[in-house]
């Protein structure tokens, strides 16, 4: 029970950023979002647990989880539009952003 609450707090932070980026969503609608995650990485637990526990649905989010193999692939997915949200580490994302992506 306590672990689920921690996941809800983490997902709540993601949701706040998500809803800010998506704008106002009417209560009856589900917002579609695409989240990438690195397979086999512990950071993948947050979106995977949130999805399996129905936390995204509870907050009216239709989350598509997109598995990738590495941090650079996460950034590529964001830049190409294949994913909208990522937890790519700053040391991976910032150099790509600095090059104009």
* Rg of the chain, C-alpha, whole Å: 14
Q: Where are the domains of the chain?
A: 2-98
Question: Which residue is it, tokens 């910032």?
Answer: 94
Give me the pLDDT at residue 55, please.
93
CATH of domain 2-98: 3.40.190
- Residue 45, SS3? helix
CA terminus-to-terminus distance, the chain:
41
Lowest mean pLDDT among 13-22, 36-45, 86-95: 13-22
Residues 35 and 83: beta-carbon distance below 8 Å: yes
Selected residue with higher pLDDT from 20 and 87: 87
- List the one residue out of 66, 93, 62, 101 whose CA is nearest residue 82: 66
Work out the pLDDT band at 12, boundaries 50, 70, 90. low
For residue 82, count other CB atoms closer than 10 A to its CB: 15
Per-residue pLDDT tens digits for 36-76 = 988 888 888 889 999 999 999 999 999 999 999 988 888 88
How far apart are the C-alpha atoms of 6 and 68, rounded to whole Å? 25
Give me the pLDDT at residue 52, please.
94
């Amino acid at each position: 029970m306590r672990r689920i609450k921690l996941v809800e707090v983490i997902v709540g932070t993601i949701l706040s950023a998500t809803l800010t980026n998506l704008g106002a969503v009417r209560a009856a609608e589900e917002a579609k979002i695409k989240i990438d995650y690195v397979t086999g990485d512990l950071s993948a637990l947050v979106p995977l647990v949130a999805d399996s526990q129905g936390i995204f649905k509870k907050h009216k989010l239709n989350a598509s989880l997109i598995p990738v193999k590495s941090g650079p692939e996460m950034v590529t997915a964001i830049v190409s539009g294949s994913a909208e949200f990522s937890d790519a580490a700053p040391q991976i994302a910032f150099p790509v952003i600095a090059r104009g992506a």
